[in-house]
Structure 1
Amino acid sequence: MDAAAEPVRRSPPWRDLLAPGLATLVCLAILLALGTWQLQRKAWKEGVIRQVVERSRIDPPLAPPAAGTWDPAADEFKRVRITGRLLNDRETLVHGLAPGEAPGRALQGYYVLTPLVREDGPPILINRGFVPTELRNPRDRAAGEVAGPVTVTGILRASEERGLFVPAPDPQRGEWFNRDIPGIAAARGLTEVAPYLIEADATPNPGGWPRGGQLRVDLPNNHLQYAFTWYGIALCLVGVFSAYAWKRLREVA
């Protein structure tokens, strides 16, 4: 007579959930850390925005810093005023966009960077503002060329780094896509140029062009949305694992 078959021994249900449970905990910790990091970035960005806005509203405007004392972290976005003479024959056009008259519409054109020479310091590049593509030729906006001494009020900006997807400049053809102060100065035969430029304010130029005041100091701050996204994914992960665990436990019950 055959021996009675031994009953099949089943492992405790929780063992089947051990591996997926550990994986879920690891992913959950990462998601929560990312969400918390975004909240910390939000607080940091709000401090930066507050500092930038305060600097841009300095009144009366300051004198630009000496070239040897320029510190982008401490000086960028400060409101300054300077007097000198514009070298209109050495202006440089930098490709860019500006807000159009209709909401959500942008104008394609150029930013006009003109050297300003002064008696008490090196030349400074002045971003005089935006001109549409049809006015790229200075002769088409001759009324906007100021020949005598001028006083410029604006915001200090550091040289603009070229991003990964920004085309390389072509100095021989006069094609520039970022406000590269050393590169533009070298292409225009300028020496000892200040390591910063001034974004001119909205004071009208003769003829209306270039149009200054294009700088936007309100930096994007989407970190709260990113935090909600990471926390939302974490909540979904908890829900998915809970449903899986409940179904698995019912199957073995």
Structure 2
Amino acid sequence: MTRDSIATVRWPRLMIVTLIALIGVGGFARLGIWQVARLHWKVDLIERVDARIHADPVPAPGPEAWPAITATSDEYRRVTLSGRFRNDETVLIYTPSDFGPADWVLTPLERDDGTVVMINRGVVPEELALAGRFDAAPEGEVMVTGLLRMSEDKGWLFSRRNDPANGKWYRRDIGSITRAKGFERAAPYFVDAELGDPKAWPRGGQTVVSFRNAHLSYALTWFALAVVVFGAWLLVLWTELRRR
């Protein structure tokens, strides 16, 4: 390369382009690394949840354990508990389902210690639910086995808000439901009952255990963008150094 060609390199322009390239490559690479970390977290979560739902049931947490319950450590754990259903306090919660518009049927289970746990007994097509054409919970002492679920305190972007005053519910916000019912010692979680009679309504065993895992594709996208920016910088550098 001659001295004249070197003199024609537009160094201020090249420095600006280099700075932008550094920011772009660094930023995209960091996002890619973050997605890789999220990938490992998601895989670990899926493995933990899969182990929980296939494990032998354990006693449902009592009042002394309620403050420490978290989604990370407890959700989707198979639990068992006994008590008496309070059918007169059943709550219907609207939900889309494989059967079309439907309702979850949540009935409180009162345990021997006086505490209450809301049991999601399953789903009923909305037409049957509104007409009351579904089975009441069994009378007397019963044993329930199912998956521990966390309260749905927050709705989705376009979800309708619960209307406790009029008894209309659109998400399983256990705190709101138990307060509206006046339950003083109610668990902060609910239990999705396992499938009983496959032809009965409500129909249990409808828990969807599915976690979207697209972190690998996201990571590859960010790394590819970093490579593209780096390649573009090399092209600009090559062009500038070849100027006459």
Q: Which residue of 1 aligns with 2:75?
A: 76
Match of 1:39 in 2: 36
Mapped partners of 2:174, 2:217: distance in 1: 35
1:21-73 superposed Cα distances (whole Å, 9 cap, x missing partner) = 111111110100000110011101111221122122221x1111112213224
AA aligned to 2:142 is V
**Matched residue pairs, number?**
236
Conserved in 1, the CA contact under 8 Å of 2:155 and 2:161?
no
SS at match of 1:240: helix
Counterpart among 197, 201, 204 of residue 194 in structure 2: 201
Partner residue of 2:49?
Answer: 52
Which residue of structure 2 lines up, in the alignment, with residue 236 of structure 1? Answer: 228
* 2:69 matches 1:66: no
Structure 1 stretches of 4+ moved >6 Å: none
C-alpha deviations, 1:190-220, integer Å up to 9, x for none? 2211121111112227x61111112123322
Shift of 1:154: 0.3
Moved more, 214-223 or 44-53: 214-223
What percentage of residue pairs aligned between the two structures are identical? Answer: 36
Greater Rg over alpha carbons, structure? 1
Name the SS for the 2:182 alignment partner.
coil
Amino acid at match of 2:26: A
8 A contact 1:98–1:214 mirrored in 2: no
On the 8 A contact 2:151/2:190 being kept in 1, the answer is yes
Cα shift readout 1:233-252 (whole Å, capped 9, x = no counterpart): 222222333334444444x2
Q: CA RMSD in A?
A: 2.3
Q: Tell which deviates more after alignment, 146-155 or 43-52.
A: 146-155
Distance (Å, rounded) in 2 between the aligned partners of 1:120 and 1:57: 28
Which residue of 100, 108, 115 corresponds with 2:108? Answer: 115
The residue number in structure 2 matching 1:4 is none
Alpha-carbon contact 2:87-2:136 (below 8 Å) kept: no
Structure 1 residues 1-253: aligned runs within 5 Å: 10-59=7-56, 61-70=57-66, 71-72=69-70, 73-99=72-98, 107-137=100-130, 139-141=132-134, 143-163=135-155, 165=157, 166-204=159-197, 208-250=200-242, 252-253=243-244
d(CA) in 2 for partners of 1:120 and 1:190? 13
| Whole-angstrom CA distance in 2 between matches of 1:210 and 1:248 | 72
Q: Distance in 1 between matches of 2:235 and 2:101?
A: 53
Structure 2, unmatched stretches of 5+, are none
Q: Is the alpha carbon distance of 1:188 and 1:121 closer, same or farther for their aligned partners in structure 2, counting shifts above 3 Å?
A: closer
Q: Which amino acid aligns with 2:59?
A: A
TM-score under structure 1 normalisation?
Answer: 0.83
